[in-house]
Amino acid sequence: MGLLVPLTAIAVWQLLVSAEVLDYEYLPAPHEVADALVELVRTGELVDDLAHTLGVALTATVITLTVGGALGLVIGLVPALRKYSMASIDVLRTIPAVALVPVAVLTFGPAVTTELILAVYAALWPILLHTAAGVAAVHPRQYDVARTLHVPPATTVRKIVIPAVVPAWLVGARLAAVIALLVAIAAEMIISPRGLGGGLIESLNALAPARMWAYALVAGAVGYLLNAALREVVRSGLPGSPAYRTRDVTSAADRAGEAATTPLRGLVPLAMLLIVWQLIASDDSLSFPPPHAWLRAIARMYGEGVLSPAIRQTLTTFMVALAVAALLGAIVGIAIGASPRIDRALSPTIDFLAAVPGAAFVPVAVLLLGTSPLSGVAVVALVVSWPILLNTATAMRAVPAVRLEMSRMLGLSTGERWRKVILPTLVPGIMLGVRVAASMALIITLLVEILGAGEGVGRLFVESQQKFDTRAVWGLLLIVGTVGYLTSATLARVEAKLTIPAEWGSAAPFPTSGVRLEPRI
């Protein structure tokens, strides 16, 4: 049944195009896409592009596995360091790697090294955060036993901490590899004519939709196979356990309290970095001007009347698209999770589409839908709806049957059952999906604007890079980072208030360890 849906869709697509019912100029027939794919393989272009993209993504993953794991281990082992660094890390990780492209190009040039640096930057944070969380979850009694047995600290780390951290590290590795693939493709779109991203953009500029669809399908196949392989690696690393269970579940009140107190002290390292930067940087620096120059550039753009409209358009696209994605993903996810038949029919197709790196969708969607603000919202919403859909479907499958049976025994109507039992159980899963989708939405919004849809902050990045105006680029980065951090903090607080607390055990409404936190981007 899972194969029936995509095969039927392809057959109907071919018939409608052949009958000229779907008479879109840039919508090729499936046989044209297949012909383009065969031609790309025959000429060797596809093999070269695929090797380039995978080389960058896998190299970045290997680097982050070691560097991110080591940093996460140190942060997790030193509680004071964790308290005074996590908020700064949150700010840095919410800056989309796409927004760093202008600075990276002006500093390192349009080279493979630039792509690699951007991929490492984006993929570093999942490894670091998962490793630190795994260390923090080691039970204090294990340390007490080690001290009682007079085990040296180095041996304690090697024999107790590291084995306990491996499950978290594996999950972080899986996320890091997928993110590295996304950023590699996105960077190629903007920087280099090589790789899958370069092939997509060249096909877009040449108005060759069949080649573009072929590249997008290959990117989806790579993402799907990478996800499948990493899923098996995680399973083999967690024998007997279907999920990642290294993080202790705390109450909503505890998490809300941490969110309220951590940011101020956690921003100290970032503040110190900016102060040192201000003191030692030169006003004449092309790549790294001092922070006060960023603020002057922001004030200049505001005075010219270009900053406020750009921020307004980017925020509008971002928020509207995220809301549409949440609604669409929740509805489809509930339908899939509630019906085993729909699940069997659609899940293979959805798994493949969700595995397509989001950046690969953008040129296809821009060519089909145009470059209007409305099309920008549609593109972003379609790309980022997958994590919400997948998490909602998982949450729907996890609704305890005993609760539904109890609601029927109590005589609750269908509406009351949904309002009082099912929806409260789904909220944690939906919110987890929304938090993943929010970071994706900001990346895709900027990428859509960079490729020409709209006059938002993404276009200002492009114009600033073309003018070699690094001060404006850093100022825009400051704005984007602030938006990303505030969005993440707001969603975390909303999740803490909406999530049913806590004593999650056998009657858990939705165990976070079972959620598919897969950005699939």
Q: What's residue 510's pLDDT?
A: 36
What's the CATH number for 282-521?
1.10.3720.10
By the 10 Å C-beta count (0-12 exposed, 13-18 middle, 19+ buried), 300 is classed as middle
Tokens representing 402?
């005993």
The pTM assigned to this predicted structure is 0.77
Phi-psi region of 56 (alpha: psi -120 to 50; beta: other; left: phi over 0): alpha
How many residues are there in the chain?
521
CA torsion sign, 316 to 319 to 322 to 327?
negative
Q: Which residues lie below 8 Å from residue 507, measured CB to CB, with a gap of 6+? A: 400, 402
Tokens representing 229?
């392989």
Query: Within 13 A of 394's CA, how many CA atoms are on the CB side?
Result: 24
Tokens representing 129?
């955060």
Query: For residue 141, what are the CA distances in angstroms to 150, 167, 179, 386, 421?
Result: 14, 20, 36, 40, 37
Q: Which of 257, 210, 262, 238 is nearest to 81 (CA)?
A: 262
Radius of gyration of the chain (CA): 24
First vs last C-alpha separation in the chain? 26
Task: Report helix angle 86-93 to 470-498, nearest 10.
Answer: 120
Q: Which of 33, 54, 37 is nearest to 46 (CA)?
A: 37
For the chain, the domains span 24-248, 282-521
Choose which CATH entry (3.40.309.10, 1.10.3720.10, 1.10.20.140, 3.40.50.10680) describes domain 24-248.
1.10.3720.10
Q: What's residue 299's pLDDT?
A: 93
Task: Report helix angle 45-77 to 195-205, nearest 10.
Answer: 130
Q: Is 520 helix (H, G, I), strand (E, B) or coil?
A: coil
Q: Are 339 and 393 spatial neighbours (Cβ–Cβ below 8 Å)?
A: no
Q: What's residue 320's pLDDT?
A: 92
The Cα–Cα gap between 171 and 241 comes to 13
Query: b or e along 122-158 (b: 16 or more beta carbons within 10 Å of the residue's beta carbon)?
Result: bbbbbbbbbbbbbbbbbeeeeeeebeeeebeeeebbe
The one-letter code for the residue type at 315 is L
The one-letter code for the residue type at 458 is G
What averages of pLDDT result for each successive group of 10 residues across the chain (521 residues)?
78 79 73 87 88 91 90 85 80 80 80 87 87 81 83 82 81 83 85 83 82 86 82 66 37 35 67 88 82 90 90 90 90 85 79 74 74 79 84 81 78 78 81 82 84 77 83 88 84 73 39 39 38
Q: What's residue 298's pLDDT?
A: 92
Q: Are 137 and 82 spatial neighbours (Cβ–Cβ below 8 Å)?
A: no
The Cα–Cα gap between 301 and 106 comes to 20
